[in-house]
Amino acid sequence: MPHIKLEDGVPGILGPMLFSPQTAGPMNLLANALMQTDEGMSRGERELIATYVSSLNDCFFCQTIHGAIASAYLEDEDWSFIKSVKSDYAATGLSEKMKALLSIAGSVQKGGKNVTTKQIERAKTNGADDRDIHDTVLIAAAFCMFNRYVDGLATTAPTDPDIYRNRAKKVIANGYSATVINGTY
């Protein structure tokens, strides 16, 4: 049960965003700027970072919705690749660049000062540029905030994967929005 009165049937971050449109707008602008671009990393890679950080933060709603979005971009229909990234990305077929960026994201999740020069050098050696590193750090930091917003208010999170798959299609088509249309999200 949420800690504050949120609209019934509106899960995860959508509930607090509907509760507070004045903060939802800037948060959605940030999410769109970080996630809805192919400058540097692909959208799928960006969503993978969000999923990984949300998994480290044990935020069920965020790791599931962003996992669904990443799965759609990366054509991982059964989410097996996403699950393997969350459990042990180093053992996956990801590029060394993405493995290095996920390492940085994991350090940011613990605290920004945990990012090391060695991690940055590894990322650069494997093809990451300053934009990739910047965006990785900012995505990881933003998702720590988003995860804490969702879980700090004890929002609800459905367990049906099809709900997340359907929401993922909407995000891919329209970007991030706190709008509820016709009672669906």
* CB contact at 8 A, 102 and 52: yes
pLDDT > 90: percent of the chain: 90
The runs of H, that is alpha helices, within the chain are 14-19, 21-35, 43-56, 60-74, 80-88, 96-110, 117-125, 130-152, 161-174
Q: How confident is the model at residue 165 (pLDDT cuts 50, 70, 90)?
A: very high
CA distances from 4 to 15, 97, 151 (A): 10, 41, 12
Taking alpha carbons only, the member of 128, 47, 138 closest to residue 95 is: 128
Does 182 score more than 50 pLDDT?
no
Cα distance between residue 167 and residue 4, in whole Å: 24
Cα distance between residue 157 and residue 139, in whole Å: 22
What integer pLDDT is reported at residue 176 of this predicted model?
Answer: 87
Cα distance between residue 143 and residue 53, in whole Å: 7
Cα-to-chain-centroid distance, residue 154: 18
Query: pLDDT by residue (tens digit) across 18-49?
Result: 999 999 999 999 999 999 999 999 999 999 99
Contacts of 18 (CB under 8 A, 6+ apart): 6, 7, 10, 24, 178, 180
Query: What is residue 70's DSSP assignment?
Result: H
Quick one: tokens of 153?
A: 């208010």
Quick one: tokens of 89?
A: 């990305």
What integer pLDDT is reported at residue 173 of this predicted model?
Answer: 92
Query: pLDDT by residue (tens digit) across 148-163?
Result: 999 999 999 999 999 9
Fold of 14-174: AhpD-like (1.20.1290)
Does 183 score more than 50 pLDDT?
no
